[in-house]
A = this chain, B = another copy of it.
Amino acid sequence: MQTRRNFSAKREAIYKAIVNTNIHPTAEWVYDKLKPEIPDLSLGTVYRNITVFKEMGIVKSIGVYNGQERYDWDMSPHSHFVCTACFKITDIPKGRNFVDKSMYDFVESECNSEVKSHSINFFGLCSNCRSVSNLTTQSK
């Protein structure tokens, strides 16, 4: 009988660290977070396990920002807001369909392709960075 393979303790910890945050972390953030409680954790293990999660379809990449890949445990379709100053990434509440099936059809026919997914990102300043830029009065 095919038994479900359990996660190793470290794999479990890495997965939980990702699931228990909504900051869309980097691999390094996960490493830094777990290192105190798991002193013999190595950064390579974090990268290796994130790759495993992606292959399993329980974690996805939402892009590279500021040189580091960001991950998301929420596999349901939703959009993100990316702050271009501090690179904080915020989920945009669902309930608004920016893109529907007819747009997939449009892209498929225009590009003669097979569309499987899409992503929508909004860029700008988060509330925090906005007030900072107000303080400094720099019209960047």
Q: Interface of A with B (CB < 8 Å)?
A: 63-64, 79, 81, 83-84, 90, 92-93, 96, 98-99, 103-104, 106-108, 110-127, 130
CB pair A118 B111 closer than 8 Å: no
Question: A92 contacts which chain B residues (CB < 8 A)?
Answer: 107, 110-111
Q: Tell me the complex Cα distance, A10–B21, Å.
A: 47
Question: A116 contacts which chain B residues (CB < 8 A)?
Answer: 84, 123-125
Question: A120 contacts which chain B residues (CB < 8 A)?
Answer: 98-99, 118-120
Given the interface contacts A64-B63, A83-B113, A84-B116, does A122 sit within 8 Å of B98 by beta carbon? no
- Cβ-neighbour of A122 out of B79, B107, B112 (below 8 A): B107
CB pair A115 B123 closer than 8 Å: yes
Question: A117 contacts which chain B residues (CB < 8 A)?
Answer: 122-124
Given the interface contacts A92-B107, A103-B96, A107-B81, does A124 sit within 8 Å of B114 by beta carbon? yes
